[in-house]
Amino acid sequence: MADAPKPVSLARVLAIAILGPLVGTLVLLAMMMTLDASPPALPDLLHYLPIFVVFGWLFGLVPSSLSAFLYRRTAPRIDGLWQRVLACVLIGFVCGALAIWPAVWIFSGRISGDLVFAVQAGLCGAVALAVIALPFSGRA
């Protein structure tokens, strides 16, 4: 008889939901610094970093919570490591790209439908979920 799939722990789900926006914020900051033709000087970056982190966490809370829920539902059904990596990337990307819009609407009062922003938010979600969900999960 095969062993029952090991469920994702509640601690891991909470870590994804709470730490995911912070990881996503750092990923977005790295993308902005890399893609900007003239990135800001280090003192300017450090000056605005707390504001960036707070708003990044607020914007990423709904997408990371949704991705934590979906990961907890799907991870026990996935056997291989690469399949789990792919699931993390897909779940994180879709949740990041789509679930960011309620926060954008709350803070700005409108939804612009900017495809570049949606892709950036999706990449942040994909990296954040993979970085938090995969290490030390005991699923090789």
pLDDT at 36: 82
Task: Tell me the per-residue pLDDT of 74-102, one tens digit each, with 9 for 90 and over.
Answer: 988 888 889 989 999 999 999 999 998 88
Number of structural domains found in the chain: 1
Note whether residue 1 is domain-resident: no
pLDDT at 138: 61
Note whether residue 139 is domain-resident: no
CA-to-CA dists, residue 87 to 8, 123, 127, angstroms: 14, 14, 12
The answer on pLDDT for 139 being more than 60 is no
pTM of the predicted structure, to 2 decimals? 0.86
The answer on pLDDT for 1 being more than 70 is no
pLDDT at 137: 64
- Cα–Cα dist 30/98, whole Å: 21
Note whether residue 3 is domain-resident: no
Task: Tell me the per-residue pLDDT of 22-60, one tens digit each, with 9 for 90 and over.
Answer: 999 999 999 988 888 787 788 888 898 999 999 999 999
Q: Which residue has the tokens 């914007």?
A: 59
Task: Tell me the per-residue pLDDT of 100-138, one tens digit each, with 9 for 90 and over.
Answer: 888 888 877 777 778 888 999 999 999 999 999 988 766
pLDDT at 140: 46
Note whether residue 92 is domain-resident: yes
Note whether residue 40 is domain-resident: yes
Domain that holds residue 73: 10-133
Note whether residue 65 is domain-resident: yes
Note whether residue 86 is domain-resident: yes
Burial (Cβ within 10 Å: 0-12, 13-18, ≥19) of residue 41:
exposed
